[in-house]
Structure 1
Amino acid sequence: MYMDKMRIVCLFIFILFFSTVLSEDFFAALNDEVLGLIAFKSSVEDPTSALSSWTASDASPCSWHHVECDPSTSRVVRLSLESLSLSGGPPLFRGLDKLQSLQSLFISSNNLSGSMSTGLSLLRSLRVLDFSNNLLSGSVPDDLGRIPTLRSLDLSGNLLSGPIPESLFSSSACSSLRFLSMSNNQFLGRIPSSMSQCRFLLHLNLSNNRLSGSPDFARVIWPLTRLRVLDLSNNSLSGPVPEGIASVHNLKVIHLNGNRFAGPIPIGIGLCPHLYSVDLSRNMFDGAIPYTMRSLFSLSFLSLSMNKFSGHLPSWIGNLSSLKHLDLSGNKLVGPMPDSLKGLKDLNNLSLENNFLTGIIPESISECTKLKEIRLKANQLNGSIPHSLFDLELEFLDLSSNNLTGAVPAVSSKLASNVRWLDLSNNRLTGGIPSEMALFFNLNYLNLSWNGLWSQLPPELGSFRNLSVLDLRDNKFFGVIPGDLCESGSLSVLQLDGNLLNGHIPNEIGNCSSLYLLSLSHNELSGPIPAEMSQLKKLEILKLEFNNLTGEIPQQLGTLENLLAVNISHNQLIGRLPMGGIFKSLDRTAIGGNLGICSPLVAEPCRMNVPKPLVLDPNAYINGDNNNIVNTNRPMSPRHRRFFSVSTIVAISAALLIVFGVLVVSLLNISARRRIGLLENALESICSSSTKSSSPAIGKTVLFGSRSNLKSEDLVSAESLLNKAVEIGRGAFGTVYKSLIAEGRIVAIKKLLTPNIVPYHEDFDREVRVLAKARHPNVMPVKGYYWTPQLQLLLSDYAHNGSLQSRLYKSDNPLPWPNRFKIVLGMAKGLAYLHQSFRPSIIHYNVKPSNILLDSNDNPMVSDFGLAKLLPKLDKHIMSSRFQTAVGYVAPELACQSLRINEKCDVYAYGVVVLELVTGKKPVVYGEDDVVILIDMVRLMLEQGNVLDCVDEMMGDFPEEEVLPVLKLGLVCASQIPSSRPTMAEVVQILQVIKTPVALEGMEGF
């Protein structure tokens, strides 16, 4: 009995001891996770206090925000830290190695920077790793390939560079990997051959990098037989795509667009029955479209645009009944549009433009009742426009540049309530404008130019409430211009040239407050120029030549400050030109052929439409005869002459002008010295204040990137910014200074115009951090900023060769052609990166030579990008004319108040800069005799066959086979119609092949 009791007591003591030891180990583990997460929290900045619940005094992290534990073990299994505005540099992810049970780690969409630290391979239970959309840089750590349980790895949207390591795909890692995305980085080199070991991979995305070479599809890609998604788009991959795709028979998405793949499409693509998205656009594929694709009944998206496909448009495409998007534009397809297209009942977008299609537009296409966009531009289609086409709920219809005949069909209520863009220009249409077009309440763009339309302008044109562009040039419209044409106030482009219009220009033209282009030339208009035109404050181009206008030019037109070009020649105008604005520099070609305009540039006698005044004889009052009126032609006696001689008046005027000039120069010098003094005082005051307080309301310095050669202590001293600061440029957003900082380094400092910038530090910080993510060899990175409520500075590297503007026009060392081509290509790559690597895209808004900086080797870097995002009142869709300071570089649609700002605006400005680089001439040149618009000059010389005569002589010898296609590319980019311009990615692709014999052939697609 005693022994039994002793056994029970011993057993109880043993159990108590074991439970005590177990509890200590258990709570030690929990404390270890708390310490690890606190260590991670201390290594990052948390501006929104998202991690405020993480406190070291807690025994367990399971109650913390963004932390998830396993209920059975109370161990951390998931961290969800997405979109918390966390920032910080190396060492990254400190303390996370303590979470030995961690399975999912999400830190996407933050601002973490610097290189990825090693040690994550210690997390042996990790299954999901998501670091996407941060600022991580450097190479990928080799030890990531040693995580045996990793199923999903997402590193997309960072600044990672170098080659993709082969070790990342060791057999231990690949055995479980299902999802891999490394898109939108800066990876170089080839696709690793070791990737073929990832036999269970389902999703592979390497898009938007700089991968090159010819991928070994047969040994690397096609062995991934379980692959569902393959995206290699927007790289520099080349070569043919061999057969073998049939082995990946479960493939659903294949995107190879934006590369340099050539040859035919593998026939085996038709043996992947689950494909629903195929994008092979912007490559050099050729041959016929494989007939095996007729079996892809699940296909929803098909884009083969901008290739060299030939042959007929296959009739079997109509069997792909699931298609919603079909784009075969920019190829060499011939023959008629097949009637079988009617089978595409779900089709939303149809684009067949820029091919060689013939025949009629089939009536049966109207059976595709879900169509929203139809693009058939630049083919050889004939016959009439099907009436049923105008009975669809279309939003975009472009049938321009074909051989269509007949009348414009009557408009249905479905089309009228939906259509935004209608372009039927450059055809052979006859008849008039249907009155039903008055129902087009949402129409934004209407182009019926270059047809044979014959009718009066219908008064219903004033009913277009949202119309921005109305182009009716070169038709046979007659009658008067309706007075209510601008009732909506949204019209920005009005072109009625080359018609038979008569009568007066209506006084109501002054209601067109948004007009920037007004062209009424080559008509039969009569009467005076309305003084109400002076209300068109946004007007830039005014063309009234070859009419029958009479009277004097209203002096009020001289107040139009934005007017850049005027032509009033070949009318019956008389009298003085307005004293202000562009009228002071008009040449004889702009004013000649009139009855008598007062200008030394024209030979016609000056005629004034002013009656002779009656003058009272002063002698009559002396003699008491108040009724005596003298003839003004009667010579006065010397005693009564009160006028100076002409020479005396000229001398007095000259003296007054000189005195006035001296005063102006003196005042400008005083003002400049005062501004510099105020800048120095402001900087010194703010910099000294920042040393006394760390509050963002007083002053804050923020630097980006671990490799920045700047330090915070370089920027808190007034001397470091002011002592050697030199102004090197001014722009719409502020003034740029060059400053010498510690250790002899030179930086560029942009002082922003404070009244125009967002007033709150949080908003400013958020927008600048987005700009700071832009890291590309052809983009000038934002290295940091200095902020106070009164002063904001943006910091970047200093470009030693200055801007393209100064290098092109002020340098004694002319740019040779190889350097100019390098600049053209580098600019395109930089802009393509800004457009493609960010969502939403970063749009520059202000592309011009002064914003293209050159390093010591003349490599271009795009600067000042996206600064309009810092403006608090800038509408997301409208670019305020206040910042359209680059005359000649502004896309025409930017003046259209209801048009969406997009990447095509940058493409236009890029095209102008390309023409400027090749010709050495500015976009708009005001000569003694005329105003030269560079785009028009180059286009005219191209049509005349002597375009090479406009090439800049200063660059010496040049290869015609390169310069000619570059000139053509510049004209294409600077097209007046946004949809006719290529994307910047397409521009890069064209430039990369321009040195090959196919360059000219590649340009034919535009």
Structure 2
Amino acid sequence: MLVGSREVERRMMKFQSPLFLFCFLSIAILGICKAEDSLPLNDDVLGLIVFKSAIYDPFSHLESWSEDDSSPCAWEFIKCNPRNGRVSEVSLDGLGLSGKMGRGLEKLQDLKVLSLSNNNLTGSISPEFALITGLERLNLSQNNLNGNIPSSVANMSSIQFLDLSENSLSGPISDDLFENCQSLRFIALAGNHLEGAFPTTLSRCVNLNHQNMSNNHFSGDPNFKEMFQSLTRLRTLDLSNNELSGQLPFGISAMHNLKELLLQGNHFSGSIPTDIGFCPHLSTLDFSHNLFTGALPESLQRLNALNFFSLSNNVLDGDFPQWINKLSSLEYLDFSGNNLQGSLPMSIGEMNALEFLDLSNNGLTGNIPTSMALCGSLSVIQLSGNALNGSIPEGLFDMELNELDLSRNELTGSIPSGSSELFESLQVLDLSGNNLTGGLPAEMGLYSKLRYLNLSWNSFQSRLPPEIGYYQNLTVLDLRNSALTGSIPEDICDSGSIRILQLDENSLTGPIPNEIGNCSSLFLLSLSYNSLTGPIPPSVSLLKKLKILKLEFNQLSGEIPQDLGKLENLLAVNISYNRLIGRLPAGPGSIFQNLDQSALEGNLGICSPLLRGPCKMNVPKPLVLDPNAYGNHGGDQNQDDEPSRSTGSFRHHRFLSVSAIVAISAAAVIAVGVMVITLINVSARRKLAFVDNALESMCSSSTKSGSVAAGKLILFDSKSSPDWISSSLESILNKAAEIGGGVFGTVYKASLGGEGKVVAIKKLVTSNIVEYPEDFDREVRTLGRARHQNLIPLRGYYWTPQLQLLVSDYAPEGSLQAKLHERPPSAAPLTWATRFKIVLGTAKGLAHLHHSIRPPIIHYNVKPSNILLDEHMNPKISDFGLARLLTKLDKHVISSRFQSALGYVAPELACQSLRVNEKCDVFGFGVLILEIVTGRRPVEYGEDNVMILSDHVRVLLEQGNALDCVDPSMGNYPEDEVSPVLKLALVCTSQIPSSRPSMAEVVQILQVIKTPLPQRMEAF
């Protein structure tokens, strides 16, 4: 009996297999099964059962579909035509189905609607869909379909609605696809990987209402002129986030039914068409993140129905439109990241529907209109990065705002007290980088929802109010460089939600409160450049999430709490220039044992082999203070038994002996030092004398002409400065000697003097160079004082009104650019050890420019061609700070420099903001790391697409495949070093400048990476 049951089970499973089922159903439909009491399956049942057999249905939604039924009209998700009983609609949206779309559906010859969206279907789109000749709606969106769009879709002449968006479709679109598209009303191919030229035949779809081709890789000019003339019924045109280029021609007004025009995230250029204002129904207009230029057309004020308007991150100029209030329906306005000038009109207060306003990073001047407070619907105001002046209108603090950003302007006066509406709504307040005074109002403690507060870089001249600890939701508190006095409130961390606390560069005094340990969420604590005293509180060791600790340049004393060595997430520490002593915290994951000298120097007695000073410990005082007691075998009793006179005599004798030894030793050290310095000076003079002699000899032959004014050669390390005639430089400044060049000038290799010493001479561009010799001398000498083992030293300069030269050391191994991208096949590729050395050395050089020189020197142009290599492959940064020699950073120079450093431009600079700082160099350094590790250029152009290296690596990292981008020519490499270095690079290339670390922190992190600690790698 048991055997029989198992046999029945086996046979039933055989009958349920898809292959047998398909064969059985096929036989049935052909009528081969001729039993009198059985009915043949119709085409609809057959097609749907075959389709179901290839689909995995985890929630049994298709359980009602049975091959025993003669008709599928009673099945779930199926609709039939009542006239003929054939299936007219299959809607399986969002059922969690997976598997491949097999055959079967082509049997449904009366099918009008097929919708399979929001599932997990894979494989390619079957070309046999074209066999369903009457299909009107096809929705396969939000699946995982791949491959090309089959050209046979062109045969579906009755199709009206086609949605293939949010899949993984790829390849170009055939021009034949839209040959018979007269019925097409809706097409959406967004969110795929489609590439190549935009399909021009789409303009034949004259009845099209909605077109969405966004978030693909289409490139080239989409031929707008023909599209505008043909698609007159179009209501939505979305080509956003592609790689399209070209200009928008006049004629857009032909699309008079247009409601949404979305072209953001492309490379469109030229001016905005003047007739765009004659699209009366336009409600959404987004041209952001393109290259549009010129002023805003006056016709835009006619768009009375417009409620979303974004032109951000273009190159638009001219005055801010005074007619902006004419756009009475506007709810969202974003003109940020352009070059708009002028003042804001008082009429802006008439925009009652406006909810979001972003005009940041332009050149706006004048006061903030007080009428802006009349915009009752406003919830976000962003005016940062302009030149607005005057005081903050008090009315803004009476509004129900969620975000107020007035940072990096020239505002004065005090912070308004605020109202109950603002107390209950404000989440982000940024007033940093202004000239505000008057202290922090006590009412600020009433902002119950405030998450981000940045008041840094102002002149409040007040104490930190105790109310600062009242914020229950505050995660970021930045009060750097705000002229704050007094002590740090004990309850500053009562909320426990603060993640970033920055109080640097104030005049804070007193101890760090022990209650700092209550900041349980803190990962950045920065209290540097104050006058804090007392010890580092042991409670800091309770901050388990802490990653960065900056306490440098204070007056902290005592020993460092040893429990700090247990902070496993700590990545960067700086405790330099305090009064700390004793041992560094130890532990299995302690960062303190791997700190760089720059993070420890300037203390009284920290015990570290990196420091030259004494190692002082807080140890108990000895009971016996007399030196005689340690030298006498009688032990401690000798102090009482010996006569006082003989004891005193012994002490005096011992003191004289020690003093004599010290004096003799010191004299010997000084004498040796004098001799060494003398020899160094003699050697330096001999090495530099060749420059004087060679340049003087080259000048002597050309003094006869007298047609060119004589210049002065200034050598920083030499007393002689001979006159020099610029015309004599033809022997050096010739094409054959040229070894490089850039925006700031051309570089020549020269062999000068009898010793054959090779130097590099940079001939600077004369445009916009400082025109007075004394100003030029001052700036160049500042650069000449920047000496570091990872910097190319500037040895001197030559100046005439017509010619300016800089003399520096020559790097024999050339540039990093040549080693990475111009390596001949016979040359060995750079190993990981060499690449890491270059990364770390470059970081140290930039850190020296940023942190060891006041004011800091910003490089402005970090890229591989400016990283030179000496004979030991040590990196030497060149061209640092040359922008200081420019009278102004005008648009031409900025634009040219960006083109020469493609891919290295920080986003804030690409937005045309000239407020550059050290974080711009950090961004360039991050891209440099990626280029070194991957061996690829920061921007690479394919035939149909553009690869942005940082985006490429970030995607691979999110997918867990970051090591797939490592340069394969590098050979073997330690993954536990390469992986965190890539993560550090992505942190450095953060789009938000404040999220990037400083170069000093980068150096510390790299040194930690060199000593691999897995638990730290996860903290990046």
**Shorter-normalised TM-score: what interval?**
0.5 to 0.7
> Closer, same or farther in 2 for the Cα pair 1:311/1:230, shift >3 Å?
same
Instruction: Specify the alignment match of 2:530 in structure 1.
Output: 523
- 1:191 correspondence with 2:198: yes
> Closer, same or farther in 2 for the Cα pair 1:385/1:72, shift >3 Å?
same
- 1:167 correspondence with 2:83: no
Alignment partners' CA distance in 2, 1:28 and 1:314: 76
Instruction: Specify the alignment match of 1:61 in structure 2.
Output: 72
> Closer, same or farther in 2 for the Cα pair 1:121/1:601, shift >3 Å?
closer
**Partner amino acid, structure 2, of 1:85:** G
Indicate the SS of the match to 1:510. Answer: helix
Q: CA deviation at 1:936?
A: 7.6
Instruction: Specify the alignment match of 1:112 in structure 2.
Output: 121
Aligned to 1:344, which of 351, 366, 370?
351
Instruction: Specify the alignment match of 1:584 in structure 2.
Output: 593
Indicate the SS of the match to 2:365. Answer: strand
Residues 231-285 of structure 1: per-residue CA shift (max 9 Å, x gap): 1111111111111111110100011111111111111111110000001111111
* 1:920-935 → structure 2 map (5 Å cutoff): 920-921=838-839
Residues 859-898 of structure 1: per-residue CA shift (max 9 Å, x gap): xxxxxxxxxxxxxxxxxxxxxxxxxxxxxxxxxxxxxxxx
Indicate the SS of the match to 1:312. Answer: coil
RMSD across aligned positions (CA): 4.3
> Closer, same or farther in 2 for the Cα pair 1:140/1:975, shift >3 Å?
farther
Contact 1:390 1:412 in 2 (8 A): yes
Q: CA deviation at 1:977?
A: 10
Residues 210-235 of structure 1: per-residue CA shift (max 9 Å, x gap): 21111222223431111111111111
Alignment partners' CA distance in 1, 2:508 and 2:356: 38
Alignment partners' CA distance in 2, 1:937 and 1:813: 27
> Closer, same or farther in 2 for the Cα pair 1:124/1:317, shift >3 Å?
same
Instruction: Specify the alignment match of 2:164 in structure 1.
Output: 155
Farther off after superposition, 419-428 or 951-960: 951-960
Alignment partners' CA distance in 1, 2:575 and 2:358: 41
**Number of aligned positions between the proteins:** 686
Residues 3-39 of structure 1: per-residue CA shift (max 9 Å, x gap): xxxxxxxxxxxxxxxxxxxxx9xx9897221111111
* 1:562-573 → structure 2 map (5 Å cutoff): 562-573=569-580
Farther off after superposition, 455-464 or 183-192: 183-192
Contact 2:437 2:458 in 1 (8 A): yes
- 1:213 correspondence with 2:131: no
Instruction: Specify the alignment match of 2:91 in structure 1.
Output: 80
Contact 1:528 1:552 in 2 (8 A): yes
Contact 1:451 1:475 in 2 (8 A): yes
Instruction: Specify the alignment match of 2:287 in structure 1.
Output: 280
Contact 1:330 1:1005 in 2 (8 A): no
- Which structure: larger Rg? 2
Indicate the SS of the match to 1:364. Answer: helix
Q: CA deviation at 1:384?
A: 0.6
Contact 1:301 1:324 in 2 (8 A): yes
Contact 1:259 1:989 in 2 (8 A): no
Residues 623-652 of structure 1: per-residue CA shift (max 9 Å, x gap): xxxxx9887999xxxxxxxxxxxxxxxxxx
Instruction: Specify the alignment match of 1:17 in structure 2.
Output: none
- 1:324 correspondence with 2:331: yes
> Closer, same or farther in 2 for the Cα pair 1:633/1:120, shift >3 Å?
farther
Alignment partners' CA distance in 2, 1:267 and 1:229: 20
Q: CA deviation at 1:471?
A: 0.9
- 1:489 correspondence with 2:496: yes
Indicate the SS of the match to 1:143. Answer: helix
Q: CA deviation at 1:300?
A: 0.7
Alignment partners' CA distance in 2, 1:224 and 1:392: 44
Residues 788-832 of structure 1: per-residue CA shift (max 9 Å, x gap): xxxxxxxxxxxxxxxxxxxxxxxx99985697799xxxxxxxxxx
Instruction: Specify the alignment match of 1:36 in structure 2.
Output: 47
Alignment partners' CA distance in 1, 2:898 and 2:97: 52
* 1:217-228 → structure 2 map (5 Å cutoff): 217-228=224-235
> Closer, same or farther in 2 for the Cα pair 1:603/1:632, shift >3 Å?
farther
Q: CA deviation at 1:454?
A: 1.6
Q: CA deviation at 1:496?
A: 1.1
Contact 1:397 1:421 in 2 (8 A): yes
> Closer, same or farther in 2 for the Cα pair 1:633/1:154, shift >3 Å?
farther
Contact 2:816 2:867 in 1 (8 A): no
Instruction: Specify the alignment match of 2:424 in structure 1.
Output: 417
TM-score by length of 2: 0.61
Indicate the SS of the match to 1:174. Answer: coil
Instruction: Specify the alignment match of 1:436 in structure 2.
Output: 443
**Partner amino acid, structure 2, of 1:40:** F
> Closer, same or farther in 2 for the Cα pair 1:569/1:197, shift >3 Å?
closer
Structure 2 unaligned regions, length at least 5: 1-34, 625-635, 643-812, 824-828, 880-895, 911-915, 947-990, 994-1020
Contact 2:454 2:478 in 1 (8 A): yes
Alignment partners' CA distance in 2, 1:431 and 1:250: 54
Contact 1:319 1:340 in 2 (8 A): no
Alignment partners' CA distance in 2, 1:56 and 1:933: 78
Q: CA deviation at 1:145?
A: 2.0
> Closer, same or farther in 2 for the Cα pair 1:598/1:917, shift >3 Å?
closer
> Closer, same or farther in 2 for the Cα pair 1:503/1:38, shift >3 Å?
same
**Partner amino acid, structure 1, of 2:904:** L
Instruction: Specify the alignment match of 1:507 in structure 2.
Output: 514
Q: CA deviation at 1:185?
A: 1.8
Farther off after superposition, 261-270 or 544-553: 544-553
Alignment partners' CA distance in 1, 2:200 and 2:93: 32
Alignment partners' CA distance in 2, 1:201 and 1:936: 60
Alignment partners' CA distance in 2, 1:213 and 1:587: 51
Alignment partners' CA distance in 1, 2:641 and 2:917: 60
Alignment partners' CA distance in 2, 1:633 and 1:307: 92
Alignment partners' CA distance in 1, 2:181 and 2:572: 65
Instruction: Specify the alignment match of 1:718 in structure 2.
Output: none
Residues 420-440 of structure 1: per-residue CA shift (max 9 Å, x gap): 111111110001111111111
Q: CA deviation at 1:918?
A: 12
* 1:903-914 → structure 2 map (5 Å cutoff): none
Aligned to 2:867, which of 938, 944, 951?
951
Indicate the SS of the match to 1:222. Answer: helix
Farther off after superposition, 267-276 or 952-961: 952-961
Alignment partners' CA distance in 1, 2:249 and 2:492: 59
Q: CA deviation at 1:558?
A: 2.4
* 1:887-902 → structure 2 map (5 Å cutoff): none
> Closer, same or farther in 2 for the Cα pair 1:460/1:813, shift >3 Å?
same
Indicate the SS of the match to 2:407. Answer: coil
> Closer, same or farther in 2 for the Cα pair 1:260/1:335, shift >3 Å?
same
Alignment partners' CA distance in 1, 2:260 and 2:861: 47
Indicate the SS of the match to 1:230. Answer: strand
Alignment partners' CA distance in 2, 1:177 and 1:939: 66
Instruction: Specify the alignment match of 1:138 in structure 2.
Output: 147
Contact 2:423 2:448 in 1 (8 A): yes
Contact 1:337 1:361 in 2 (8 A): yes
Alignment partners' CA distance in 2, 1:962 and 1:96: 54
Alignment partners' CA distance in 1, 2:379 and 2:940: 34
Alignment partners' CA distance in 1, 2:500 and 2:640: 49
Instruction: Specify the alignment match of 1:98 in structure 2.
Output: 107
Q: CA deviation at 1:86?
A: 2.2
Indicate the SS of the match to 2:474. Answer: coil
Q: CA deviation at 1:937?
A: 9.8
Instruction: Specify the alignment match of 1:391 in structure 2.
Output: 398
Indicate the SS of the match to 1:177. Answer: coil
Q: CA deviation at 1:501?
A: 1.4
Q: CA deviation at 1:563?
A: 2.5
Contact 2:200 2:222 in 1 (8 A): no
Contact 2:906 2:923 in 1 (8 A): no
Alignment partners' CA distance in 2, 1:196 and 1:946: 45
**Partner amino acid, structure 2, of 1:969:** A
Indicate the SS of the match to 1:509. Answer: helix
Alignment partners' CA distance in 1, 2:203 and 2:596: 70
**Partner amino acid, structure 2, of 1:255:** L
Alignment partners' CA distance in 2, 1:482 and 1:633: 57
Instruction: Specify the alignment match of 2:788 in structure 1.
Output: none
**Partner amino acid, structure 2, of 1:213:** G
- 1:71 correspondence with 2:8: no
Instruction: Specify the alignment match of 2:188 in structure 1.
Output: 181
**Partner amino acid, structure 2, of 1:365:** M
Farther off after superposition, 290-299 or 552-561: 552-561
**Partner amino acid, structure 1, of 2:839:** K
Aligned to 1:472, which of 467, 479, 483?
479
* 1:388-787 → structure 2 map (5 Å cutoff): 388-580=395-587, 581-612=590-621
